[in-house]
Amino acid sequence: MTELLNDLFFIFQRLNWLSVIDILLVALIFFGLLYMLRDTQAIVLLRGIIFLVVLIAMLTSLVNLPAFSWLVRTTLPALLFAIPVIFAPEIRRTLERIGRAGSIFTVGGQLSHLEIEETIQSVVGACARLSARQHGALIIMQRLDGLDEYVETGVRMSAKVTPELLLQVFYPNTPLHDGAVIIGNARLIAAACVMPLSASGILTRSPERQMGLRHRAALGISEASDAVAVVVSEETGSISIAHAGRMIRRLDPERLQNILTAFYRTEDKNGNNFFERVFPYFFPRKEE
C-alpha cells in the first residue's frame, strides 16, 4: 500500500498544466466516442472488446505465458485494423453529425415564414385527426440533408401539404398508406417511401410493445439524416417525433407544433423565441 501511495505521489509531482490539458483532451475524445455510440448495438460489441482486452492484459501480466503473449502481440495489429470495419456505420454516422454541426436550422430553401407555418399547421392538424382515429402515419420533414434516394422508393406527388391530403394518404388500405411521406420545400414530395430501419437499442429496451416498424423507420431516417420524423401509432394513436436518433413520445398537438416550429425557425413575428416554449427550464422568466 505504501509503495502504491509513493507511486501516485510521484505521478502527481510530475503533473503540470500541459499534462492536465493532455489528459482532459484524451478523456474528451473517449467521452465523445462513447456518447455517439450510446443506445446502439455497437456499445454491446464495445463492451465485449473491452472485457477481452482487460482479460488478456491480466493473463499476460499475472501469468508467464510466452506462447499466448506472442499470439496476442502478433494478432493485435490486425484487430486494430478490423475496428474501423466493425464500427463502420457508427463512424459514418458520427462524421455526418460532425459535418452537420452548426446547421441546426433550415427552412427547406427560400421559404417564407407563412409557408413554413402553413406546412407545420397542416402536419399538426393531420396528426391530431389521425391520432383520434388511430390511423398509423409516418411523416418525414426534410431539412438540410437531401432525401432523393428515399424519394425514389415511393410515388412522386409534388403536391401542396394539406391535412386532407395527409388524411387521405394514410387512410387504411389505400394504395399509399404503407410507408412514409416526405415533405420538403413546403411540398409533399412523395408518398409510400421506404425508410431505413434503426439498429438502435432504444426500442428493444422499451417496456412497451406499441413501437413497431413505423417507429423503427422514424428512428432510422433520423439516424441517417437530419430530417424530422413524426409518427402516429396505429395501435394507440399516440404521436411521437424522432430526430438525431432520439424519440419523444406521447405528444399532444400543441407540443408537437412547438417542437416543429423550433426546428424550422427560432422566432415568431412578435420576436418570441420558440425554444423558450419547448424548453422553458433553460430560460429564466422575463421580468414583467
Same domain, 162 and 62: no
- Asked, for residue 191, whether it belongs to a domain, the answer is yes
Distance CA 49, CA 239 (A): 38
Whole-number pLDDT of residue 38: 63
- Asked, for residue 223, whether it belongs to a domain, the answer is yes
> Positive or negative, the Cα torsion across 15, 20, 23, 27?
positive
- Model confidence at 286, pLDDT cuts 50, 70, 90, reads very low
- Asked, for residue 105, whether it belongs to a domain, the answer is no
Same domain, 143 and 254: yes
The parent domain of residue 30 ranges over 2-99
Same domain, 73 and 12: yes
Same domain, 258 and 186: yes
Residue 138 has pLDDT above 80, yes or no: yes
Domain final residue pick, 99, 130, 162? 99
- Asked, for residue 104, whether it belongs to a domain, the answer is no
Greatest mean pLDDT range, 17-21, 51-55, 63-67, 154-158: 154-158
Over the chain, what is the mean pLDDT? 77
Distance CA 159, CA 188 (A): 5
Same domain, 194 and 270: yes
pTM (global) more than 0.85: no
Distance CA 162, CA 153 (A): 22
Same domain, 43 and 126: no
> Number of folded domains in the chain?
2
Same domain, 94 and 124: no
Least confident of 68-77, 121-130, 176-185, 245-254: 68-77
Whole-number pLDDT of residue 287: 38
Judge contact between 143 and 263, C-beta under 8 A. Answer: yes
Same domain, 87 and 150: no
- Asked, for residue 284, whether it belongs to a domain, the answer is no
Distance CA 172, CA 163 (A): 16
The percent of the chain in helix, strand and coil, each rounded to the nearest 5, is: 55, 15, 30
Residue 195 has pLDDT above 70, yes or no: yes
* CATH number of the domain where residue 254 is located: 3.40.1700.10
Domain final residue pick, 99, 130, 157? 99
- Tens-digit pLDDT profile for residues 57-83: 777 777 777 777 777 777 777 777 777
Residue 227 carries which DSSP code? -
Whole-number pLDDT of residue 288: 33
Residue 208 has pLDDT above 60, yes or no: no
Same domain, 81 and 168: no
Judge contact between 200 and 219, C-beta under 8 A. Answer: yes
Whole-number pLDDT of residue 108: 42
Whole-number pLDDT of residue 240: 94
Same domain, 270 and 166: yes
Burial 90-106 (b: 16+ CB within 10 A, else e): bbebbeeeeeeeeeeee
Burial 268-285 (b: 16+ CB within 10 A, else e): eeeeeebebbbeeeeeee
- Model confidence at 194, pLDDT cuts 50, 70, 90, reads very high
Least confident of 139-148, 188-197, 267-276: 267-276
- Tens-digit pLDDT profile for residues 90-133: 666 666 666 655 443 333 445 678 888 899 999 999 999 999 99
Domain final residue pick, 39, 67, 99? 99
- Asked, for residue 108, whether it belongs to a domain, the answer is no
- Asked, for residue 36, whether it belongs to a domain, the answer is yes
Q: What single-letter amino acid sits at 44?
A: V
Higher model confidence: residue 185 or residue 86? 185
Q: Which residues contact 220 (CB under 8 A, 6 or more apart)?
A: 195, 196, 197, 198, 199
Same domain, 72 and 135: no
Residue 206 has pLDDT above 80, yes or no: no
β-strands 187-193, 180-184 pairing:
antiparallel
- Asked, for residue 171, whether it belongs to a domain, the answer is yes
Same domain, 89 and 173: no
Residue 262 has pLDDT above 50, yes or no: yes
Mean pLDDT of the region 203-212: 58
Higher model confidence: residue 40 or residue 64? 64
Q: What percent of the chain has pLDDT over 90?
A: 30
- Tens-digit pLDDT profile for residues 9-38: 766 677 778 878 888 888 888 787 777 666
